[in-house]
Amino acid sequence: MEKDKYQNLLYNKENYYEKTEESEREKIFDFAEGYKKFLNICKTERECTNFAISKAKERGFSEYHFGDKLAKGDKKYFINRDKGVSLIKIGNRDIEKEGLRIIVAHIDSPRIDLKQVPLFESDGFCYLKTHYYGGIKKYQWTTIPLSLHGVIIKKNGEKVNINIGESESDPVFYISDLLPHLSRTQMAGKANEIINGEQLNVIIGGVPLKDAKADKIKINILKILNDKYGITEEDFVSSELCVVPAMRARDVGIDRAFIGGYGHDDKSCAYPCLEAMLDVDNEITSICIWVDKEEIGSEGNTGMKSKVFEDLIDEICYALGCNPRQVRGRSICLSCDVDGCYDPNFPNVFEKKNTALISCGACMTKFTGSGGKSDSSDASAETVYKIRKLLDKNGVTWQTSELGKVDQGGGGTVAKFISQLNIDTIDIGLPVISMHSPYELISKADLYSMYRVGFEFLR
């Protein structure tokens, strides 16, 4: 009893499932159903962008271009090169006084891209040469069913969308690994050399075309592709294709507590952010940004480093007759990205008190980076407090987190690029088990907590 008396002096994380009433638990499980459907049809940034556009249109949003007029009550979406999309809501309140509410998540996930001259044939197989995208453990991507996604721009300028391997009747693709019987040398090597980058060759076929003179399997593949899409080998040069796990998102656990799936990083944040943006009927002017290229450092004109996001904010301000510098300085942004979850199977790399625990809610990360916090924007105590107050006031289950032990490794998010625009920015997202693997794991409780974070922030 003496212990309880002092309980309120302590910071404790609580399991969200344990805290919830039956009605809230139902909401948690219902929300997960929509998310799984999204995950199954949105494996690339282009597919995510299309999804967000169609969802936004259903809710009365219309397309916005730089220079367009904006007025209170407008609901708009801005497309960046089909690989990112921002939803914009113009509220009633004065943004020069109150700033914007910005919520960001990335829609690219680690995967295996095709090279620009991918096809080659060897000893009964036709393969695709690849170049992996993002930080992957290469050996994890062998011996699993893979699907092919992306676009090819043909010689005549026509754009062909490719999506093979997701429907039950489709074939899938495959990267081989060595049989254990002959793996003595392989298994004695370093894990990052078990499969090297040039070994990530994807099997695409094996039937030779009888009347071809050489490369009979490759010619047959090209003939099939030509019959179906009208493409030639040269057209791969202007293509953007990748292979991703062909596996569907599934409930994990007999109690269905978890979801296994490809791309929880960062679609488990992107989806709840979008849903919150669509559901909130707000007075505040807000932007929900789905951004590309986070996994390779937020580079290029579709990544968070791009000037396009500063331009977007500026354009909104000009359209509303406001000073963008004043608005940015008073804005606040949630950089919604996943964090490493404490894994009892690998306790040594985590410092448990400061690591996100599964099912304890969305995790707020004051700083990311590595070593001495390098490459982190390190949100201020004031910014942390603003969000802490907001979430606590509204009864949202959340927790604080840091990625693993000091000097064990590290990682970054888009937060630092947004904060450079003079916007208070803080990371918050889901704890993920087996991050960057072909089949990651999250908790449904954390997913719903993220939705509640987004909803209360934008409300």
Whether the Cβ atoms of residue 113 and residue 133 lie closer than 8 Å to each other: yes
Q: Is 337 in the site for Mn ion (CB under 5 A)?
A: yes
Binding status of residue 440 toward Mn ion by CB under 5 A: no
Tokens of 337: 């990205």
Q: Which residue from 68, 84, 86 is spatially nearest to 286, judged by alpha carbons?
A: 86
DSSP 79: E
> Smaller CB distance to Mn ion: residue 38 or 64?
38
Burial category of 373 from C-beta neighbours within 10 Å (exposed 0-12, middle 13-18, buried 19 and up): middle
Q: Work out whether 427 is an interface residue with Mn ion (CB under 5 A).
A: no
- Residues 246, 338: Cα–Cα separation, whole Å: 22
Nearest distance from residue 427's CB to Mn ion, in Å?
10
DSSP state of 341: B
Smallest gap from residue 337 Cβ to Mn ion (A)? 4
Cβ closest to Mn ion, residue 89 vs residue 293? 293
Nearer to Mn ion, 135 or 171 (CB): 135
244: closest CA among 226, 231, 263, 229? 263
Q: Which is nearer to Mn ion, 45 or 337 (CB)?
A: 337
Residue 184, CA distances (Å) to 142, 188, 194, 199, 342 in order: 18, 6, 11, 18, 32
Closer of 324 and 340 to Mn ion (Cβ):
340
* Shortest Cβ 134–Mn ion spacing (Å): 6
Of the pair 337, 424, the CB lying nearest Mn ion is at: 337
Which of 45, 121 has the CB closer to Mn ion? 45
Q: Does 266 bind Mn ion (CB under 5 A)?
A: yes
* Smallest gap from residue 340 Cβ to Mn ion (A): 10
Q: Which one of residues 47, 166, 265, 402 is an interface residue with Mn ion (CB under 5 A)? A: 265
- Minimum Å distance from CB 265 to Mn ion? 4
Q: Choose the stretch contacting Mn ion; rule: CB under 5 A; options: 38-46, 167-175, 336-344, 350-358.
A: 336-344
Q: How many residues bind Mn ion, per CB under 5 A?
A: 3
Interaction between residue 121 and Mn ion (CB under 5 A): no
CB of 266 to Mn ion, least distance (A): 4
CA distances to 71, 98, 429, 457 from 368, in Å: 37, 27, 12, 21
Q: Which residues, 57 to 116, sit near Mn ion by CB under 5 A?
A: none
* 364: nearest Cα among 394, 338, 342: 338
Q: Choose the binding region for Mn ion from 227-235, 334-342, 346-354, 416-424 (rule: CB under 5 A).
A: 334-342
- Residues between 220 and 249 with contacts to Mn ion, criterion CB under 5 A: none
For residues 18 and 53, the answer to whether their CB atoms sit within 8 Å is no
Considering the complex, what minimum distance in angstroms separates the CB of residue 131 from Mn ion?
A: 17
The first and second tokens of residue 163, run together, are: 């999506």
- Contact by Cβ (8 Å): 426, 384: yes
Binding stretches for Mn ion (CB under 5 A): 265-266, 337
